[in-house]
Amino acid sequence: MPRPGPATRGRAYGARMRSPLTRPLPAPPEALRRGPLRPGAFPSPLHEAATAARIGRWLGTAFATCFVTGLISHYLQQPPSWLPVPSRPVWGYRLSQGIHVATGIATVPLLLAKLWTVSPRLWAWPPVRSVLHGLERLSTLVLVAAALFEVATGLVNVVQWYPWSFYFPRVHYYLAWVAIGSILLHVSVKAPVIAAALHERTDTGEGLSRRGFLTAVGAAVATVTVLTVGQTLRPLSPLALLAPRRPDIGPQGLPVNRTAEAAQVTVLARDPAYRLQVAGPRPYALSLADLRALPQQEVELPITCVEGWSATGRWRGVRLRDLLDRAGAAPGAAARLVSLEPAGLYRTSVVDSAHATDELTLLALELNGEPLAADHGSPARLIAPNRPGVLQTKWVRRVEVLAEEP
């Protein structure tokens, strides 16, 4: 038998000396190559890097926008002690949360188109060629899973359906960091491939063209946006056919998320013995008639929910800072408001000093010229500028002066 030549011996030596991370793994049995793993499973010429890179650019922009506006929403709902929350502009949260939900919905067709375009690489054979290749595939799996989770759970949150037991805001927040980190890692690793693909100008010329496909994806994004953004953008509200809320439909012309019946406060909200308790250095109590006898202020403020809808109302009531001053609060004091609700994540909320001392922050008794409906927080509710709707406490029974910022 002839001895192997120098080239053959060199390759064998190189294979023995190759890092365990890059050493080829045994190929799986061909019998497993079925479904999307079979040869020719993805015949469309649009499964190409040039198409994927262009959709990826749009998708990356949408995810980045969602991430930044999501951080704003998170910190406005759960502000850390070192981060002051401004009460101006009054429409700040309305703008940021409206953009957050609109771009989140727009990512649905973009993400589906991106996954379809790169599907041949997601189902490549063999699934794992080496340990290093397996780690790369694992990072891609984390990216896809986190992106799908964020988009799917965000969409379900918009329609207020929670088929899970975990606390959505916390999980959504932490997975957002995983998703954005995975995207940055993916882009940095694939940067040369992405750059080359974006400079590729040659179209396939077969079947649906790349330009036609991208136009269709753009049209899908525009359609879902126009049919949902009206829940925030009032001029487009008649077109909000897919939005779960219309900003002009509800008691007294405003939508309602949580009704008095759902909060189990229907009887308490109508109790003639209602008293607002104000706790501070000089505590006192006020009946509803006493509250109405105090100097009243009327303001026009939007109310914005995390689900993305927002609407503006004319609110009339007592300034919160007047109630705090009467209780002997120190200048710049914060407050805690407690609802009649017997239970619930948002039955209490802290109003920081910037909002508590703002002249636009009211304990509202009327909405759009009428006494508050029970579903809008009767007998009294908080309304403050640039504040998430979940923190605009309804059915307020107690106001507590806080000696210092919590």
pLDDT computed for residue 82 by the predictor? 82
Among residues 195, 221, 239, which one ends one of the domains?
239
The pTM for the full model equals: 0.90
* Domain match, 289 and 367 both: yes
End-to-end Cα, the chain, rounded Å: 85
Helix axes 49-77 and 168-198, enclosed angle (nearest 10): 150
Going by the DSSP 8-state scheme, the letter that residue 118 receives in this structure is T
| Residue 224 sits in the same domain as residue 310 | no
Domain harbouring 352, CATH code: 3.90.420.10
User: Among 221, 239, 257, which residue terminates a domain?
Assistant: 239
Give the DSSP letter of residue 249. -
Task: Determine contact, residues 253/247, Cβ cutoff 8 Å.
Answer: no
State whether 211 and 310 are in the same domain: no
Domain that holds residue 376: 266-402
Q: How far apart are CA 212 and CA 201, in angstroms?
A: 14
Q: What is the pLDDT of residues 286-309, one digit of tens each?
A: 999 999 999 999 999 999 999 999
Q: Within this chain, do residues 127 and 180 fall inside the same structural domain, yes or no?
A: yes
Q: Which neighbouring-strand residues pair with 317?
A: 297, 364
On whether residue 319 sits in a domain, the answer given is: yes
pLDDT at residue 5 in the model: 57
67 plus 197 within the same structural domain = yes
Instruction: Look at residue 338 and give its three-state secondary structure.
Output: strand
Residue 70, token pair as written in the block: 């999501």
Tokens of 128: 């794992």
Residue 112 in domain: yes
Whether residue 199 sits in one domain with residue 59: yes
CA angle 203, 209, 215 (to 5 degrees): 115
Please report the beta strands in 100-249, taking only residues with DSSP state E, as ranges in sequence order: none
Express each pLDDT in 230-288 by its tens digit: 999 888 888 998 888 888 889 999 999 999 999 999 999 999 999 999 999 999 999 99
- pLDDT at position 19, please? 78
**387 touches 354 (CB < 8 A):** no
Helix axes 210-226, 92-117, angle to 10 degrees: 150
Closest-CA residue to 234 (of 302, 155, 306, 314): 302
d(CA 210, CA 382): 53
What is the pLDDT tens value at each position of the chain, 406 positions in all? 456 555 555 554 454 556 788 888 998 999 999 999 999 999 999 999 999 999 999 999 999 999 999 999 999 999 888 888 999 999 999 999 999 999 999 999 999 999 999 999 999 999 999 999 999 999 999 999 999 999 999 999 998 888 999 999 999 999 999 999 999 999 998 999 999 999 987 665 556 789 999 999 999 999 999 999 999 988 888 899 888 888 888 999 999 999 999 999 999 999 999 999 999 999 999 999 999 999 999 999 999 999 999 999 999 999 999 999 999 999 999 999 999 999 988 999 999 999 999 999 999 999 999 999 999 999 999 999 999 999 999 999 999 999 755 4
For 258, the token pair is: 């949580």
Is residue 261 in a domain? no
Alpha-carbon span 122 to 308, nearest angstrom: 33
In a domain, 23, yes or no: no
Same domain, 227 and 346: no
Per the structure, the count of domains in the chain is: 2
CA distance 396 to 373: 14
The closest alpha carbon to 361, from 336, 330, 384, 391, belongs to 384
Q: What's the rounded Cα separation, in Å, for the pair 349 and 30?
A: 61
Q: Do 364 and 395 form a contact (C-beta atoms < 8 A)?
A: no
Residues 235 and 270 in one domain: no
201 and 328 in a single domain? The answer is: no
Angstrom distance (rounded) from CA 210 to CA 100: 29
- 34, part of any domain: no
Closest CA to 364 of 274, 300, 308: 300
Q: Which two tokens stand for residue 391?
A: 């923190």
- Residue 294: CA atoms inside 13 Å, Cβ hemisphere, count? 21
Residue 60 and residue 78: Cα distance in Å, rounded? 26
Is the domain of 307 the same as that of 372? yes
Q: Do 205 and 80 lie in a common domain?
A: yes
- 336 located within any domain: yes
pLDDT reported for residue 13: 47
Helix (H) or strand (E) holding 240: none
What does DSSP say about strands 362-367 and 381-383: parallel, antiparallel, or unpaired?
A: antiparallel
Secondary-structure breakdown of the chain: helix, strand, coil percentages, each rounded to the nearest 5: 45, 15, 40
**51-52-54-56 Cα dihedral, nearest 10 degrees:** 160
Tokens matching residue 385: 């500028």
List Cβ neighbours of 68 (8 Å cut-off, separation of 6 or more): none
CATH number (domain holding residue 84): 1.20.950
Pairing mode of beta strands 284-287, 297-304: unpaired
